[in-house]
């Protein structure tokens, strides 16, 4: 690929499409809010889509035996693990903290911020983000090359 700027443009374009899909899904469910654009979680996973797009692009352009593919693949595993595991763990903590705050007397309860309870992704949200990302990245790559 002569146009190395595509390593930035294609993953960002894929992420934008993923965010548009999230908006459409939220609108169809009647759950859309502008705040949801900056929140974590949701179908499909934007974080997964971004890193899978970069990894797919490297595989298409340089091959899977390239050192850059190996590095990107490892980062992909870490980001997906974080999206599903660590953030779900943090969401569970948020739920527990919120339950404890609700048990406080009313005059103390207001002092504590309610924690986010939807932080992580489900396995389906991550899988959808990855699959859509691979398809879009391949399509954009073939279009530009």
Within a 13 Å sphere around the CA of 57, how many CA atoms are in the beta-carbon half?
Answer: 28
Span 55-95, pLDDT tens digits: 999 999 999 999 999 999 999 999 888 877 766 777 776 77
Q: Which residue has the higher pLDDT, 122 or 115?
A: 122
In degrees, to the nearest 5, what angle opens at C-alpha 114 toward C-alphas 110 and 115? 155
pLDDT of residue 136: 97
- Residues 39-49, mean pLDDT to the nearest whole number: 79
Domain ranges of the chain: 6-89+123-144
Q: Which residue has the higher pLDDT, 116 or 105?
A: 105
């Amino acid at each position: 690929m002569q146009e190395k700027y595509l390593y930035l443009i294609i993953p960002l374009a894929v992420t934008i499409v993923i965010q548009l899909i999230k908006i459409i899904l939220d609108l169809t469910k009647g759950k859309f809010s502008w705040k949801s654009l900056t929140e974590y979680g949701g179908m499909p996973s934007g974080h997964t889509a971004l890193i899978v797009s970069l990894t797919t692009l490297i595989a298409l352009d340089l091959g899977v035996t390239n050192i850059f593919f190996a590095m990107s693949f490892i980062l992909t595993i870490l980001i997906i693990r974080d999206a599903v595991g660590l953030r779900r763990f943090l969401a569970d903590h948020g739920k527990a903290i919120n339950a404890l705050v609700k048990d406080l007397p009313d005059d103390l309860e207001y002092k504590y911020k309610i924690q986010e309870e939807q932080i992580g992704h489900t396995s389906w949200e991550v899988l959808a983000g990855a699959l859509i990302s691979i398809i879009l990245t391949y399509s954009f790559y073939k279009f530009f090359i």
